[in-house]
Structure 1
Amino acid sequence: MTKKNRNKLLITAAVLFTSMTSCDSLLDVTPKGTYTTATYWRSQSDAINGVTGIYNVLLEEDFTGHAEFTFDDPSDDQYRAGDHSEDVAIENLTYDAGNAQVRFGWKWKYEMINRANSALIYIPKIATMDDAIRNRCLGEARFLRAFAYWRLMLIYGEAPVVSEDDVLTGNYNKPKVSIDSLRSMIQTDLLAAADLLPDTYESADRGRLTKGSAWGLLCKLYMYWEKLDQAIVYGEKVINSGRYDLAPTYVANFTPETSNNDEMLFAVQTSDIWGYSDFTTYYTPREWNGWNFHQPLKELVDEFEANDQRKAVSIMSPGDKINIGTTIATYNANMSETGYHFRKFSYWKPNGGLNYSLKTPLLRSADIMLLVAEAKIRTAGAGAGDAEINKVRKRAGLDPVAGAGMPALIHERRMELSGENERHQDLMRWDKAQLIDITTYYNKPKYGKDNNILVPARTFVRPKHYYFPLPQTEIDKSNGVLIQNSNY
């Protein structure tokens, strides 16, 4: 736990610049100075701005601003590229507890938890407040705390829990809890969030969390918990609600003007004029204002079916004409070590430069549809998930499938969610359930555009590589309270 997390929450002007609205005029917040819990949480506007400050953590480069997506580099979809030495060990499965990437996001997850705890402690004490706004704020805090623990659980397996009581008593040096304990806490927060959050928002508040956000993350939680029946229940709440339908086109999810659509259950909210995130910069070719990280491999590109409309949206391929704002440029293989870039995360302003209004997707209805399809296939057999799979395929311009089993489901998730930080976790989840042999995916090299070896064959070790080690710096600071994960 960092010193920052041991202190009571300070909400500064920076917190107030990330209002989750889609109207720029409502984002212009006058700086109000520095506050402590002794002088804040007095009014409804304090509650709204304080909760907005929890969302603000998502913009951090060492959280979803970039670092979280590095944990997908071991997958068979992408090559790390870039110039971060710590990423080499992540991709090669040779990391240890001293790896910088292992520690980067830890503090920001607990910063999000800390801010959420403060909101949950003090918002109920605000004397005069609209009940609907109070409930919404509490629901947002519960969801965002659950999301931080969700990411801790996926990456580390076991981690400490810091509750509201711990904040009030200053008890921050906590031992880690089991995976099932984390899952139970995440479940409790998400069920509460689903009760408290609204179904939808008016346009000014588009991008804030909804009931569908909580149901969707519950569906994912139950899939990782192997509670498939429950995953179907909460996934179908999303699908059957009539409020969180797929966007009419795949590209709408990756276009600044339309990326806050009904399908986007949870996304990092940015605007080119106020909410800069490094995410877009990392994925974009260096020649076109980016930093050249996370390049798709030919193996991924080749798996797209003919006429799959997602390919042109997702991938920059040699010869593609790309609108980089000031001109229509031609992509060529020499811009990348693999011969390709992800296209879905890059957008440019008409006068040049990257457009940071593109939202970073963290949870989409398409993901939930495919999880429901998987749960149905695994509980009722091949063909049981055809309706959900075919809805996703229809939007992609593809013919329907019949009698789809796990191979078809695995293919569809790979195509639909490429580059969205799902593949590595999916492969590990399926391996744990003995649906695949992950070593056949990882114990082989990754090849570049000239058929050169970019990454040598890795050795995936079960159960060691299912989780990353806890940061050694945190273990050292705990004075023996925090115990390292086994196998590290």
Structure 2
Amino acid sequence: MKSKISLYIGVGLLLFGSACKKALDLKQQGVYTSDNYFRNETDAVTAVSGIYSLLEEEDYIGHAECTFDTPSDDYWRSGDHGEDEAIENLTYDASNAAIRYPYKWRYEEINRSTNCIINIPKITAISADVKNRSMGEAYFLRAFGYWRMMLIHGDAPIITEDDYAKQLFNVPKSPIEEVRKQIESDLLKAVDLLPESYLSTGPDRGRVSKGTALGLLTKLYMYWEKLPQAIATGQKVISNPAYALAANYADNFTRANENSTELLFSIQALQSVVQNDFTVYYIPRSWQGYGFSQPLQGLANEFEANDTRKAATLLSVGDKVDLGDGKGLTTFTADLSATGFAFKKYAVFNTTAAGGGVDHSFAVPLMRSADIYLLVAEALIRTQGAGAGDALINQIRHRASPLLKPVVGAGMTQLIHERRVELAGEGERHQDLMRWDKDKIVDIAAIYALPVSKAPIDQSKTVTFQRPKNYYFPLPQVEIDKSKGVLVQNPNF
């Protein structure tokens, strides 16, 4: 039987600026399969665009994946999702909906990517440049799907091209070492095939580049404890002006950031066509958002005096915001948040169009060059000793504010601080703490055991971290059941 492929072409094209008709106005043009769809260059580009469209899924990158950082000492989950509360408190089980939701979308990303990897090479009516770029994108996006599987679940099923040929999709988990090798293999291919960069305007803006693949490969090596490889790979990002830091930290979190060289990977959307759920979830409810994932006082306290990243990252009581509604500046008040804070870096509003409201054209950063600077600095400290990462840390600090005192002889304490304030709210804190705990650099259980006040309301957050159980989340129980014994649950669940 031939396998059908779901391309979601309309949404995929929207991510790169195309127009759209209402769904009911569309006429069915035929049923396509993997065997008869991939005919020419346009088909290849459209199929790859259909992979990108998954980044907008509310139950994937759009929101659900963000939930996995809520146990950290930076967040109060807020919102009205009971499943998120269980993730935050590490009291979840394998039936938790927040664990189930993104699982299928990671494999949908892997599925669509593999379809492209198998079929694009068969196309003859395509230029070499577009073919190489499209294959590189597919390899990267498949690696990203497996990357999220590895971070969240550890061991995970790997479905190969040979499995697709045999229509064999119910396969057992592979050990995490094999998952890492799969990610590395795909990323190395992506590095070879992807262009260095794209024009800052036009239909290709927002596509992944060679720097995107190098950045994720650097992160993979850090989690793999291959520190020399992380240094060598990350330096290729740091030394390339095509991936330079933005002039100002706050520039990464404005509408203009879609053209930023610092954004190695981002979610691109289009106002009035595609809702950017990632952004909406962070904005207070009375400001047309959902009010989830609110910063805690401890995160606010982490910022040094004169660190402009605090004002760019957090909305605090008394701050003024232009909601674009024609009413001038609106004050952020205590009743807008359970903690007294919201993430300003995602509270982006359309101040140029009539009616204002949430800016859905804001490019949400998923990976920035600054992350790679700090990972290389960390790897240098851990391999060469305190002070080896000073130059890179100071580039990040000086960009934040010339008033910040440069570090001298910085060790892991300074590095951990810098990653916390630089990447606050970007989904790194919980994973950072877990990998440092595994290397006995921090004691994550002790950090999470500290009571956290969520002023101004009288509540507290205390998370009990159990080793090794909480290093990874269980596979969704429904997937275990459907596999009829092929999938085996992670230990301790």
Q: Please give the range of the TM-score, normalised by the shorter of the 2 chains.
A: over 0.9
Q: Given the alignment of the two structures, is residue 28 of structure 1 paired with residue 19 of structure 2, yes or no?
A: yes
Task: Tell me, yes or no, if the aligned pair for 2:7 and 2:112 is still in contact at 8 Å.
Answer: no
Q: What CA distance in whole angstroms lies between the structure 2 residues aligned with 1:14 and 1:164?
A: 26
Aligned counterpart in structure 2 of residue 110 of structure 1, from 107, 111, 114? 107
Distance 1:73 1:16, change over 3 A: closer
Gapped runs of 5+ residues in structure 1?
Answer: 1-5
Q: What CA distance in whole angstroms lies between the structure 2 residues aligned with 1:187 and 1:231?
A: 12
Q: Given the alignment of the two structures, is residue 475 of structure 1 paired with residue 477 of structure 2, yes or no?
A: no
Any residues of structure 2 matched to 1:215-226 within 5 Å, and which? 215-226=214-225
1:15 is displaced (CA, Å) by 4.1
1:460 aligns with 465
Any residues of structure 2 matched to 1:5-20 within 5 Å, and which? 8-20=4-16
Give the stretch that moved more between structures: 406-415 or 197-206.
197-206
Distance 1:7 1:70, change over 3 A: farther
Q: Given the alignment of the two structures, is residue 41 of structure 1 paired with residue 46 of structure 2, yes or no?
A: no
Superimposed CA distance per residue, residues 445-485 of structure 1 (whole angstroms, 9 cap, x where no aligned partner): 23111362332x22211100000000000000000000000
Task: Tell me, yes or no, if the aligned pair for 1:10 and 1:37 is still in contact at 8 Å.
Answer: no
1:444 is displaced (CA, Å) by 2.4
Q: Given the alignment of the two structures, is residue 447 of structure 1 paired with residue 453 of structure 2, yes or no?
A: yes
2:394 aligns with 390
Q: What CA distance in whole angstroms lies between the structure 2 residues aligned with 1:260 and 1:150?
A: 25
Give the stretch that moved more between structures: 354-363 or 372-381.
354-363
Task: Tell me, yes or no, if the aligned pair for 2:15 and 2:270 is still in contact at 8 Å.
Answer: no
Task: Tell me, yes or no, if the aligned pair for 2:9 and 2:49 is still in contact at 8 Å.
Answer: no
Question: Match of 2:470, as an amino acid?
Answer: H
Q: What CA distance in whole angstroms lies between the structure 2 residues aligned with 1:276 and 1:335?
A: 22
Give the stretch that moved more between structures: 123-132 or 349-358.
349-358
1:3 aligns with none
Q: What CA distance in whole angstroms lies between the structure 2 residues aligned with 1:373 and 1:387?
A: 8
Question: Match of 2:472, as an amino acid?
Answer: Y
Distance 1:248 1:484, change over 3 A: same
Superimposed CA distance per residue, residues 391-420 of structure 1 (whole angstroms, 9 cap, x where no aligned partner): 100111023111111010000000000000
Distance 1:234 1:291, change over 3 A: same
Distance 1:12 1:465, change over 3 A: closer
Aligned residue for 2:309, secondary structure, equals helix
Gapped runs of 5+ residues in structure 2?
Answer: none
Q: What CA distance in whole angstroms lies between the structure 2 residues aligned with 1:450 and 1:164?
A: 54
Aligned counterpart in structure 2 of residue 120 of structure 1, from 105, 113, 117? 117
Q: What CA distance in whole angstroms lies between the structure 1 residues aligned with 2:275 and 2:164?
A: 30
Distance 1:8 1:162, change over 3 A: farther
Normalization by structure 2: what TM-score? 0.94
Superimposed CA distance per residue, residues 358-399 of structure 1 (whole angstroms, 9 cap, x where no aligned partner): 112111000000000000000001110011100100111023
Task: Tell me, yes or no, if the aligned pair for 1:11 and 1:35 is still in contact at 8 Å.
Answer: no
Question: Match of 1:302, as an amino acid?
Answer: N
Any residues of structure 2 matched to 1:14-93 within 5 Å, and which? 14-20=10-16, 24=17, 27-28=18-19, 33=29, 35-93=32-90
Q: Given the alignment of the two structures, is residue 132 of structure 1 paired with residue 129 of structure 2, yes or no?
A: yes
1:484 aligns with 489
1:287 is displaced (CA, Å) by 1.3
Give the stretch that moved more between structures: 186-195 or 440-449.
440-449
Aligned residue for 2:395, secondary structure, equals helix
1:269 is displaced (CA, Å) by 1.1
1:335 is displaced (CA, Å) by 1.2
Q: What CA distance in whole angstroms lies between the structure 2 residues aligned with 1:56 and 1:36?
A: 19
CA RMSD of aligned residues (A): 1.4
Any residues of structure 2 matched to 1:340-355 within 5 Å, and which? 340-350=341-351, 351-355=355-359
Q: Given the alignment of the two structures, is residue 361 of structure 1 paired with residue 368 of structure 2, yes or no?
A: no
1:45 is displaced (CA, Å) by 0.4
Superimposed CA distance per residue, residues 188-232 of structure 1 (whole angstroms, 9 cap, x where no aligned partner): 000000000000112212211111001100100000000000000
Task: Tell me, yes or no, if the aligned pair for 1:17 and 1:275 is still in contact at 8 Å.
Answer: no
Task: Tell me, yes or no, if the aligned pair for 2:13 and 2:46 is still in contact at 8 Å.
Answer: no
Equivalent pairs counted in the alignment come to 477
Q: What CA distance in whole angstroms lies between the structure 2 residues aligned with 1:478 and 1:306?
A: 54
Normalization by structure 1: what TM-score? 0.95
Any residues of structure 2 matched to 1:297-376 within 5 Å, and which? 297-326=296-325, 327-350=328-351, 351-376=355-380
Superimposed CA distance per residue, residues 267-316 of structure 1 (whole angstroms, 9 cap, x where no aligned partner): 11112133322111110011111111000000100111111111111100
Superimposed CA distance per residue, residues 71-98 of structure 1 (whole angstroms, 9 cap, x where no aligned partner): 0100000100000010111011110001
Task: Tell me, yes or no, if the aligned pair for 2:154 and 2:472 is still in contact at 8 Å.
Answer: yes
Q: Matched residues, percent identical?
A: 53
1:253 aligns with 252
Task: Tell me, yes or no, if the aligned pair for 1:252 and 1:259 is still in contact at 8 Å.
Answer: no
Task: Tell me, yes or no, if the aligned pair for 1:218 and 1:231 is still in contact at 8 Å.
Answer: yes
Task: Tell me, yes or no, if the aligned pair for 1:63 and 1:109 is still in contact at 8 Å.
Answer: yes
1:134 is displaced (CA, Å) by 0.2
Distance 1:68 1:273, change over 3 A: same
Q: Given the alignment of the two structures, is residue 99 of structure 1 paired with residue 96 of structure 2, yes or no?
A: yes
2:426 aligns with 420
Aligned counterpart in structure 2 of residue 166 of structure 1, from 149, 158, 163? 163
Any residues of structure 2 matched to 1:112-261 within 5 Å, and which? 112-202=109-199, 203-204=201-202, 205-261=204-260
Task: Tell me, yes or no, if the aligned pair for 1:17 and 1:274 is still in contact at 8 Å.
Answer: no
